[in-house]
Amino acid sequence: MKILLFGSGGREHCLAWKIRQSRHCTKLFCAPGNAGTAQIAENVAINAEDIPALLEFSLKEKIDLTVVGPENPLVAGIVDEFEKKGLKIFGPKKAAAMLEGSKAFAKKIMRKYCIPTAEAKEFVSAEEALAYLQRQKMPVVVKADGLAAGKGVLICGTLPEAEKAVKKILLEKEFGEAGAKVVIEEFLEGEEASFLAFCDGKTVKPMASSQDHKRVFDNDKGLNTGGMGAYSPAPVVTKKIELEVLQGIMQKIIDAMKKEGAEYKGVLYAGLMIKNGKAKVLEFNARFGDPETQVILPRMESDLVEIMLACIEGKLAEKELEWKKDACTGVVLASGGYPENYEKGKEIFGLEKVENAFVFQAGTKIENGKTVTSGGRVLVVSALGKNIEESIKNAYSEVKKISFEKMHYRKDIGRKAVGKKR
Cα–Cα distance, 64 to 62 (Å, whole number)? 6
Our CA angle for 101, 107, 112, nearest 5°, is: 125
Residue 147 has pLDDT above 70, yes or no: yes
The model's pTM = 0.95
The counts of H helices and E strands in the chain are: 13, 22
> How many other CB atoms sit within 10 Å of the CB of residue 131?
11
> Which domains are delineated in the chain?
2-90 (3.40.50.20), 125-180 (3.30.1490.20), 191-318 (3.30.470.20), 327-417 (3.90.600.10)
For residue 13, which phi and psi values (nearest 5 degrees)? Answer: -60, -40
Q: For residue 259, what are the contacts with CB-CB under 8 A and spacing of at least 6?
A: none
Provide the 8-state DSSP code for 10: H
Residue 410 has pLDDT above 70, yes or no: yes
Our CA angle for 113, 115, 119, nearest 5°, is: 105
Instruction: Yes or no: say if 299 and 18 are a contact pair by the CB < 8 Å rule.
Output: no
**Residue 336 burial by Cβ neighbours in a 10 Å radius (0-12, 13-18, 19+):** middle
Residue 421 has pLDDT above 50, yes or no: no
Residue 49 has pLDDT above 50, yes or no: yes
Q: Greater confidence, 154 or 84? A: 84
Q: What is the arrangement of strands in the sheet containing 327-334, beginning at the earlier edge strand?
A: 211-212, 229-232, 327-334, 377-385, 358-361
Residue 97 has pLDDT above 60, yes or no: yes
Cα–Cα distance, 417 to 218 (Å, whole number)? 15
Instruction: Yes or no: say if 53 and 401 are a contact pair by the CB < 8 Å rule.
Output: no
Cα–Cα distance, 204 to 217 (Å, whole number)? 35
Identity of residue 422: R
Average pLDDT, the chain: 96
Q: For residue 341, what are the contacts with CB-CB under 8 A and spacing of at least 6?
A: none
pLDDT of amino acid 422: 42
Residue 151 has pLDDT above 90, yes or no: no
Note the helical H segments in 93-200.
94-101, 103-112, 126-133, 159-166
Residue 158 has pLDDT above 70, yes or no: yes
pLDDT of amino acid 420: 62
Please give the average per-residue pLDDT across 402-418, as a whole number: 95
Task: Tell me the pLDDT tens digit for each residue of 201-230.
Answer: 999 999 999 999 999 999 999 988 889 999
Task: Tell me the pLDDT tens digit for each residue of 6-34.
Answer: 999 999 999 999 999 999 999 999 999 99
> How many other CB atoms sit within 10 Å of the CB of residue 262?
18
Residue 189 has pLDDT above 80, yes or no: yes
Task: Tell me the pLDDT tens digit for each residue of 341-358.
Answer: 999 999 999 999 999 999
Q: For residue 128, what are the contacts with CB-CB under 8 A and spacing of at least 6?
A: none
Which H or E run contains 399? helix 388-399
| Radius of gyration of the chain from its Cα atoms, rounded to whole angstroms | 21
Cα–Cα distance, 353 to 349 (Å, whole number)? 9
Q: How would you classify the pairing of strands 65-68 and 2-7?
A: parallel
Identify which of 34, 7, 27 has the alpha carbon closest to the alpha carbon of residue 378: 34
pLDDT of amino acid 419: 66
Cα–Cα distance, 233 to 327 (Å, whole number)? 6
Task: Tell me the pLDDT tens digit for each residue of 228-261.
Answer: 999 999 999 999 999 999 999 999 999 999 999 9
pLDDT of amino acid 299: 98
For residue 121, which phi and psi values (nearest 5 degrees)? Answer: -140, 145
Q: CB under 8 Å, gap of 24 or more: what pairs does 312-320 form?
A: 312/88, 312/89, 312/90, 312/200, 312/265, 313/200, 314/200, 314/201, 314/202, 314/265, 315/200, 316/198, 316/199, 316/200, 316/203, 316/204, 316/205, 317/200, 317/202, 317/203, 319/205
Cα–Cα distance, 89 to 97 (Å, whole number)? 14
Per DSSP, what are the bridge partners of residue 195? 270
Task: Tell me the pLDDT tens digit for each residue of 120-140.
Answer: 999 999 999 999 999 999 999
